């Protein structure tokens, strides 16, 4: 029987493994861009923890095998949505080690992030993914995200399609 996933908040000592996990997961779906800057992963505390967001890691036997984060919607993603309120979060860096996928780890990370985003006062959440990330598309759609649009973008000299999703949280 597989060991259970335990969730916790990011710690500075996690940085190297987070960068490895990001690259492994993105290479696995053919979406890693060598040399692309990842300033949020180089300053997780500033980009997420000190900015109204959160960054979680999931461990199995003390090894980080999953991660995910949210922060206030800002930067490039705001250019693609016309009506974002200041209570909109952006879901970022949802990754599961390819050797640990299809075990519910991504769902556990997402559920915890959604709960924390709601507790922090967010009413909506947006994200982007690519057509190559078919598993991610299915995952988000199964979690009630709606595809809003597809856009052609250029990043680090590569042109690709970006799929934008949105979800509103229920008002309780």
Nearest to 95 by CA among 163, 19, 43: 19
3-state secondary structure of 131: coil
- Position 36 scores a pLDDT of 72
Residue 48 domain flag: yes
Whole-angstrom Cα distance, residue 81 to residue 99? Answer: 35
Nearest to 90 by CA among 103, 108, 82, 78: 78
User: How many domains does the chain divide into?
Assistant: 1
Residue 1 domain flag: no
pTM: 0.93
∠ CA 118-120-124 to the nearest 5 degrees? 45
3-state secondary structure of 148: strand
- Position 156 scores a pLDDT of 64
Q: Mean pLDDT for each 10-residue chunk of the chain (172 residues)?
A: 86 96 90 79 96 97 97 92 93 96 95 97 96 94 97 76 94 70
Query: Which letter does DSSP use for residue 80 in this model?
Result: S
For helices 134-142 and 105-119, the axis angle rounded to 10 degrees is 50
Do 90 and 71 touch, CB atoms closer than 8 A? yes
Neighbour count for residue 18 (Cβ, 10 Å): 20
CATH of the domain at 45: 3.40.630.30
Residue 145 domain flag: yes
Do 141 and 157 touch, CB atoms closer than 8 A? no
Note down the domain range covering 82: 6-168
- Position 119 scores a pLDDT of 96
- Position 25 scores a pLDDT of 93
Residue 93 domain flag: yes
Residue 101 domain flag: yes
User: In the numeric block, which tokens belong to residue 122?
Assistant: 């967010």
Residue 42 domain flag: yes
Nearest to 63 by CA among 14, 98, 105: 14
Residue 60 domain flag: yes
């Amino acid at each position: 029987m597989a060991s259970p996933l335990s969730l916790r908040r990011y710690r500075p000592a996690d940085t190297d493994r987070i960068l490895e996990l990001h690259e492994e997961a993105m290479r696995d779906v053919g979406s890693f861009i060598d040399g692309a800057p990842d300033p949020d992963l180089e300053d997780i505390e500033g980009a997420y923890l000190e900015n109204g967001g959160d960054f979680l890691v999931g461990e199995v036997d003390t090894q980080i095998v999953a991660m995910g984060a949210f922060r206030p919607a800002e930067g490039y993603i705001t250019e693609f949505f016309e009506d974002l309120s200041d209570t909109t979060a952006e879901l970022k860096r949802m990754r599961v080690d390819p050797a640990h996928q299809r075990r519910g780890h991504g769902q556990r990370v997402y559920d915890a992030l959604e709960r924390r985003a709601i507790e922090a006062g967010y009413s909506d959440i947006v994200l982007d993914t690519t057509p190559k990330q078919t598993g991610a598309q299915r995952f988000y759609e199964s979690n009630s995200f709606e595809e809003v649009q597809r856009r052609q973008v250029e990043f680090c000299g590569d042109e690709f399609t970006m799929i934008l999703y949105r979800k509103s949280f229920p008002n309780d």
